[in-house]
Amino acid sequence: MEVNIYEATTNLPKLIEQALAGEEVIIADAGSPLVKLVRIERHKPVLGSARGTFVLKDGWDDPLTDAEMEDLFGL
């Protein structure tokens, strides 16, 4: 689908819906194509896909001592 700039500015929400539905929308000026409005494909992360990327040391979730709290927050 090709639309002129004026039509694109007045109907942008409709054009976005069409692009999200997979349709390619070309915005033109005086019949000359300028830009293409297309859906951005987003990939959902897979749970556990970062496994092995970093390692937490044993005790990483132990409560902080009073001295460590004081060092961090000046309490």
45 in a domain, yes or no? no
More confident call, 41 vs 25: 25
Element (H, E) at 37: strand 32-37
44 in a domain, yes or no? no
66 in a domain, yes or no? no
User: Which of 3-7, 29-33, 38-42 shows the lowest mean pLDDT across its residues?
Assistant: 38-42
d(CA 61, CA 71): 17
19 in a domain, yes or no? yes
11 in a domain, yes or no? yes
27 in a domain, yes or no? yes
Residue 10 · residue 3 · CB < 8 Å: no
Question: b or e along 31-47 (b: 16 or more beta carbons within 10 Å of the residue's beta carbon)?
Answer: eeeeeebeeeeeeeeee
pTM for this model (two decimals): 0.54
Q: Which domain holds residue 8?
A: 2-37
6 in a domain, yes or no? yes
d(CA 67, CA 75): 9
How many distinct structural domains can be found in the chain? 1
Q: Per this entry, what is the length of the chain?
A: 75
